Structure 1
């Protein structure tokens, strides 16, 4: 996945040297501060914005039978949105909660779609981003099905070394599909 991220970053760096693209994008985008506890998107709402974290942390979660089930974590340079909701214009099945004060770049999905039509390089970035997301989903599914709890925790730390400082252990346990007690045992054996 690192290779794809590098290709996307290089494409964006080159693309933003185009003054017309840069001006059009920054006319559509807004930087906003969100506070810890804010929801970028609440389950049941239609996702109308694409959020890029410039700094901070966000978690995705579902509410099932009154219990929160954490599905994802996002940090600086990650994109946050419900792809299903934004694409199908249906209620989002998940919520996205700000875990620490975060600076976020916000662009409406509608304007982003228009920019992708206007500037083919943005369509290429979008396609590569969707491929990277699909690969992440495949890796996540394989991890949940085949890796031990200890292996899943190790994979999470490898991907996000800072996660233990930024995220409650109960959210990490939920993401890993284990109890808090099991996570504590794994961490103690370190």
Structure 2
């Protein structure tokens, strides 16, 4: 996936050298600051915005039987949106919560679609990003199905070394599909 991310980064750098594209993009987005505890998207709302994180951390989660189950962590350079809700314009199945003060670039889904139609390179970047997301989902599914709890924890640390400093251990345990006690044992053996 690192290879895919490098291709996307290179395409973005090249694309933003085009003054027309750059101007159109910065007319469509706005920077917004969110505080710890703010909600970017609430479960049940239709996703109308996409957020590109400049700094900070956002957590995605579902509510199931009164419990919140963490599905994702998003850091700088990550995009945050409910793809299903934004694409289908249906209620979002998940909530996105700001875990620390976070600076984002916000763009409406509608404006994003216009930019993708107007600039083919943005459509290519969108497609590569969607492929990258699909690969991440496949890797996550395989990890949940076949990796031990310790292996899942090590994979998470390899991807996000700073996560333990920025995210509550209960959220990490939920993301890994284990109890907080199991996570504490794994960390103690570390």
**TM norm. shorter chain > 0.5:** yes
Where 2:172 maps in the other structure, the secondary structure is helix
Where 1:113 maps in the other structure, the secondary structure is helix
Matches within 5 A, 1:90-105: 90-105=90-105
Runs of 4+ with >6 A deviation: none
Matches within 5 A, 1:70-149: 70-149=70-149
Measured after TM superposition, the shift of residue 65 of structure 1 is: 1.2
Where 2:145 maps in the other structure, the secondary structure is helix
The RMSD of aligned alpha carbons is: 0.3
Q: Which residue of 2 aligns with 1:38?
A: 38
Q: Which residue of 1 aligns with 2:161?
A: 161
Aligned pair 1:173/2:173, yes or no? yes
Q: Which residue of 1 aligns with 2:19?
A: 19
Structure 2: 5+ residue stretches without partners: none
Cα distance in structure 1, aligned partners of 2:10 and 2:31: 22
Q: Which residue of 2 aligns with 1:182?
A: 182
Q: Which residue of 1 aligns with 2:29?
A: 29
Structure 1: 5+ residue stretches without partners: none
Q: Which residue of 1 aligns with 2:66?
A: 66
Cα distance in structure 2, aligned partners of 1:89 and 1:64: 22
Cα distance in structure 1, aligned partners of 2:130 and 2:10: 16
Cα distance in structure 2, aligned partners of 1:23 and 1:56: 25
Where 1:73 maps in the other structure, the secondary structure is strand
Cα distance in structure 1, aligned partners of 2:113 and 2:14: 20
Q: TM-score with structure 1 length normalisation?
A: 1.00
Cα distance in structure 1, aligned partners of 2:164 and 2:131: 28
